[in-house]
Amino acid sequence: MAKYIFVTGGVTSSLGKGIIAASLAKLLQARGLKVTIQKFDPYINIDPGTLNPYEHGECYVTEDGAETDLDLGHYERFLNIYTTQANNVTTGRIYQTVINKERAGAFLGKTVQVVPHITDEIKHRMLLLGKDDKYDVVLTEIGGTVGDIESLPFIEAVRQLQWELPEEDVMVVHLTLIPYLKAAKELKTKPTQHSVKMLSETGVHPDILVCRTEEPLNNDIKRKIALFCNVKQEAVIEAMDASTIYEVPLLMLREKLDLICLKKMNITNYAEPNLDKWKVFLDKLKYPRSKVTIGLIGKYIELQDAYKSILESFVHAGAMNEVKVQVVNVHSEFITHENVAEKLQGFDGLLVAPGFGHRGIEGKIIAVKYARENNLPFFGICLGMQMAVIEFGRNVLGLNEAHSTEMDAKTQYPVINMMEEQKKIKMMGGTMRLGAYPCEIKEGSLAHQIYGTTSITERHRHRFEFNNDYLEQYEAAGMLASGKNNDTGLVEIIELPNHPFFIGVQYHPELKSTVESPAPLFVGFIDAAKKYNEQKSNMKSSSMKDAII
Ligand code: GLN
């Protein structure tokens, strides 16, 4: 029987509950336990697939094609495991299930209520992953902040489980904030006291308090928090701001968060934590040998979370190449033929981001043209790949105003068009081509060189694709379709062999990049950017020498 750790949050949002949960899970995994994490989100959407990235950040897609919260990306990146549809549950999904059951007559004669029907469904899903002996510990992050109306049924379900299951099988870790008041030069514990009080009023008592703080918590403060919040002093954990999220597992190890959990859960069969690979990665990340600057061309750049997995993939690929990757966001809406050189000339590589809809499209196409013509390393993901196809159509093949039918349904040259099976779909939620599909890579291509294999699977999230009616024309002019799905003929990868690094992929390689196994295309792209940067500095220094001579 698995043990269950629930992670709740208090005082304010954005304290990094997902990172704390992933770090704790990492430590338990490093001690030899089989661990998974899930997230319960209190909103009514069935999944975040229909949410605007501005609202909610990126939508993370799992192998099995679930559109999930971006915290699942952290779980996978930290633990190097795959999560599934079962790892992300929303209030909407819970209610949908209960209401469907009601319509099917499952509760005949009964009034269907939040307690027990909704909470029963929540508990069922909370325990689900722990049912088949696959895991020793299942961590559950409860989205939102304690005190929110929306999260009450989830907290109530935790309360019931604390009461129903053996004491050592359930524990609650509560994440709070200890603000530092500069004027008073003091750390303040009151918000934490209030948040624990609020949690206790719902009948849930935390076993551990993880306290986010900018200043170290001395013993006096810890004692005070322990006394007022009714937890053991050793269970008051300091979570200082870290320079990178990947340092948090080591900070939590120092604070013995894992050991306190193991003790409470009465788990005695564990090893010394094996974090060797993690530490090597962290060392490379913290002490890079050089730097590259990448322009991220997108339209959701105001919110960093919108491109979370891409940014993290750059971190992994940077460490692998021992370079610091500085990512500069460029809003595609403001790129024009006139200012493109000025905006992009300082970069060592361009990534044109995924996206939907019309806004900012022309800027992306202009950016691709600049990269193609100036031998600047280019990497296009999903919509970014589609833009590269459109750019090539317009500027190399002379297909004036070639477009995607997503932006221009009546274009004369629909070089990107809607996938056949998408045409009959009317509902928006969960209906794209989602999740892992295989791709066969052409031998001798750049993609082959980078992946080191001809068969891969990668994750997807799109409705449109390369229009194969134009394939011959493209290949004759030098754009190679180097990766395809053999079942459908769908073009998965395009590249320009006469360019140092120009690659576009219909899939999302960023979704499979982890600390222990960085996405090959990101590693290859950063390697190309490094070479581009070195060439640039060699040229600079030789032209300086010429000037001196
Ligand atoms: N809007 C494009 C499509 O649906 C690209 C999607 C994406 O970038 N994820 O095909």
Q: What percent of the chain has a predicted confidence (pLDDT) above 70?
A: 99
Q: Determine which residue's CA is closest to atom 1 belonging to ligand 1.
A: 356
Cα–Cα distance measured from residue 39 to residue 67, given in angstroms and rounded to the nearest whole number: 13
Which residues, other chains included, contact 187 with Cβ-Cβ below 8 Å and sequence gap of 6+?
A: 178, 179, 180, 181, 213, 215, 217, 221
Q: What is the pLDDT of residue 549?
A: 59
| 57 or 208, which is more confident | 208
Cα–Cα distance measured from residue 512 to residue 520, given in angstroms and rounded to the nearest whole number: 10
Whether the pLDDT of residue 547 is over 70: the answer is: no
Mutate to test the pocket of ligand 1, among 297, 364, 382 (most ligand atoms within 8 A of CB): 382
Q: Determine which residue's CA is closest to atom 8 belonging to ligand 1.
A: 354
Active-site amino acid positions: 382, 508, 510
User: Strands, E, within 178-264: which ranges?
Assistant: 180-181, 186-187, 208-213, 236-240
Whether the pLDDT of residue 548 is over 90: the answer is: no
Q: Averaged over 90-97, what is the pLDDT?
A: 97
Q: What is the pLDDT of residue 108?
A: 85
pLDDT in tens, 312-353: 999 999 999 999 999 999 999 999 999 999 999 999 999 999
Query: Is the separation of the CB atoms in 14 and 179 below 8 Å?
Result: no
CA 23 from chain centre, in angstroms, equals: 15
* String of DSSP letters for 402-451: -EETTT-TT-S-EEEEE-GGGTT----TT-SEEEEEEEEE-TTSHHHHHH
Cα–Cα distance measured from residue 367 to residue 329, given in angstroms and rounded to the nearest whole number: 13
Question: 383 C-alpha to center of ligand 1: Å?
Answer: 5
pLDDT in tens, 113-143: 999 999 999 999 999 999 988 999 999 999 9
Whether the pLDDT of residue 83 is over 70: the answer is: yes
How many residues comprise the chain? 549
Residue 96, φ and ψ in degrees, nearest 5: -60, -45
Both tokens of residue 408? 């221009």
Q: Averaged over 392-421, what is the pLDDT?
A: 96
Pocket of ligand 1, beta carbon within 6 A:
354-356, 382-383, 406, 461-464
User: Strands, E, within 217-289: which ranges?
Assistant: 236-240
Q: How confident is the model at residue 31 (pLDDT cuts 50, 70, 90)?
A: very high
Mutate to test the pocket of ligand 1, among 59, 300, 310, 356 (most ligand atoms within 8 A of CB): 356
Q: How confident is the model at residue 488 (pLDDT cuts 50, 70, 90)?
A: very high
Q: Which H or E run contains 72?
A: helix 71-79
Whether the pLDDT of residue 66 is over 80: the answer is: yes
Query: Ligand 1, closest atom to CA 508?
Result: 9
